[in-house]
Structure 1
Amino acid sequence: MKAMIFAAGQGVRLKPLTDNIPKALVKAGNKTLLEHAVNKLKSAGATDIIINVHYLAHQIKNFIKYNNNFGINITISHEKDMLLETGGGLVYASHFFGKDEDFIIHNVDVLSDIDLNAMWDFHKKSGALATLAVMARKTNRYFLFDDTLRLKGWQNTITNEIIKAENHKGTLTPLAFSGIHVVNSRIFEHIEETGVFSMTKVYTRLCNDHIIKAYRHDDTQWFDIGKIESLRAAEAYFRL
């Protein structure tokens, strides 16, 4: 199994912890966020992981080398000139993935007890182009799903922007994205965007004609390590 960790971000909301180190090397307990993500993916069966880097990239490279690649095959995707966001970063790393190959994407700043193997099996059985881990929780931006858990839109509750698929029917359920997806490499054939862009833009454009599913994990614990308070909360819950 292959996987990608999005680890290029600076972690502005985690300052001052990220003044001199990248977000990926912030510690949760006695391990870095990067180690937690790698271990999570390894436990799910990942053998080859590509990690995108940008801010203080040399520190991440040196850390991985010092730890002997955590005992698996690790490739670095260095976004030297600019941070490409999730969509641009994925396309930049597309050479890593084979034809018609499923893989997991995991944000480095997410800590959870989600069952990645169950999510993987759900994705494989659904035949979806992509499967998004989602929860019913309060946030500012939501993916919108129909009663078959198929993606049909997106909304921003702050700006009141709403994007809906042309073929949507009935009531759509807003669910918050958890920063974890299972994707098939066929998606690269359909990405028209270039440069700096997010996967949210890709998913909302493709959902009219392609199956993109929700994997709900409402019964799990999940933390977005975007702020120091959430980092401490995650450490307390997982006893890190």
Structure 2
Amino acid sequence: MMKAMILAAGYGTRFRPVTYTLPKPLVPLCNRPLIGWAVESLLVAGIRDLIVNVHHLAEAIEGHLRAHYLARAEIAFSFEKEILGTGGGVRRVRAQLEPGQDFLLVNGDTVQFPPYEELIAARRAHDSLAALTLRHPPENDRFTAVWLENGFITRFGRGPGQSTAEPLMFSGSHAISSKIFQYLPDKEFSGIVDEVYQPLLNAKRETIAAVVSDGLWFDIGTPQRYLSASRTLLDAIVRGDVPPPADSRVRGDSLVDRSSAAGGTLVRSTIGARSVVRGELHDTNVWDDCAIGGNARLERCIVAHGVELSGHIELQDALVCCDHPAIPQDPMYERREGLVIVRV
């Protein structure tokens, strides 16, 4: 049975201050944590044997996955006392992954719907070391180019000179042969692209295939990217292109958890579990256990777990979370009545 490894050990630094107290893979997008989207896509593909590497706030990730998925999947956790990098993280679970012909490796903090069967077939067709999902980059986006020619990757990063190769963007999923363990550096920390893939391509010792897929894909690196991703994914759910999470329902152009109470005005917004909304929301994402009073008007905002907004308040382009001792003093953070507000 094929296994998959989900990478979930990072700090999520670009999504601070939220990620000081919530691991980024548990940040909800359209009422489902980011890592939940990764798990669901694997389950749909018939992959139920999962390994998740964890480090930052590991107990929260483990607790969520055990509570929501143990009845549907076999999940093992690899706790990294120090972050090991992609190569080091894979090397640490060699005993679980090496016996199979190949395995899948996916990011736990992006939302994507990879063509896993096509990816596996591309790797196996020529016994390539790996096959990666690539996509055409969004206009004016900054990215590390992955050069593709005749279905195979020729290099990563700087252009290959005189070539017909096309520069594309890596979208975060691999199908990898168990041969990888012959090549991973014998050390704790390592990267997989710069220390394995690229050197082997340079030496022409292995091939790396690719599948180009321009379907829905979201890199939730920053609050700004989160807001853009939420709008696009919400629209897809409202159209019926993507099924909503089981506990949520579509209401007009918005998505509302069934346990919430949303009596205010909702325009293209999401309401999480057990939240109560009486105010006016436009293009706003309210997470779980929040209370938004009737005199609140929020536009293009992210309201993190447990936030209470009472009295007259208007916010635009802001991230709001509960204050916590783990959140340091920072001139970018506005502190107000037990809350931290960051303009995005």
Q: TM-score range by the shorter chain?
A: 0.7 to 0.9
Residue type of the alignment partner of 2:31: N
Deviation at residue 12 of structure 1 after TM alignment:
0.6
The superposition leaves residues 178-210 of structure 1 with CA deviations (integer Å, 9 ceiling, x where unpaired) of 111110111111223522221111110112210
Indicate conservation of the 8 Å contact 1:99/1:186, yes or no: no
Bigger share in strand:
2
Query: Partners in 1 of 2:77 and 2:186 — Cα distance?
Result: 22
The equivalent of 2:155 in structure 1 is 153
| Fraction of identical pairs, as percent | 30
CA contact (8 A) 1:11 1:22 kept: yes
Given candidates 140, 152, 156, the residue that maps to 2:143 is 140
Please tell me whether residue 211 in structure 1 is matched to residue 207 in structure 2: yes
Partner Cα distance (1:195, 1:84) in 2: 6
SS in structure 1 of the partner of residue 20 of structure 2: coil
Aligned match of 1:18: 19
Match of 2:190 in 1: 197
Q: TM-score, normalised by structure 2?
A: 0.62
Secondary structure at the counterpart of residue 91 of structure 2 = helix
Runs of 5+ unmatched residues, structure 1: 156-161
1:113 alignment partner AA: F
- Residue type of the partner of 1:229? Q
Coordinate RMSD, CA, aligned = 2.0
1:158 aligned partner: none
Whole-angstrom distance in 2 between the partners of 1:237 and 1:70 = 31
| SS of aligned partner of 2:75 | strand
Tell me if the contact between 1:88 and 1:197 (Cα under 8 Å) persists in the aligned partners.
yes
- TM-score, length-scaled by structure 1: 0.87
**Offset of 1:94 from its aligned partner?**
1.5
Indicate yes or no: 2:226 matched with 1:231: yes
Matches of 1:53 and 1:224 in 2, distance apart? 19
Partner of 1:39: 40
Equivalent pairs counted in the alignment come to 228
Q: Is the 8 A contact 1:139 1:176 kept in 2?
A: no
Q: Which has the higher contact order (CA 8 A, sep 6+)?
A: 1
SS in 1 for 2:17: coil
User: Which residue number in structure 2 is paired with residue 61 of structure 1?
Assistant: 62
1:67-88 deviation line (CA, Å, top 9, x unaligned): 25252100001002x1111111
Residues 132-179 of structure 1, C-alpha deviations (whole Å, 9 max, x = no match):
11112143312223x322222222xxxxxx486xxx983332221111
- The structure with more helix, counted as a fraction of residues: 1
Letter in 2 for 1:6: L
**In the alignment, which residue of structure 1 is the partner of 2:88?**
88
Q: Distance in 2 between matches of 1:66 and 1:85?
A: 27
Question: Matched residues in 1 for 2:171 and 2:99: separation?
Answer: 26
Q: Which letter maps to 1:125? A: A
Contact 2:146 2:170 in 1 (8 A): yes
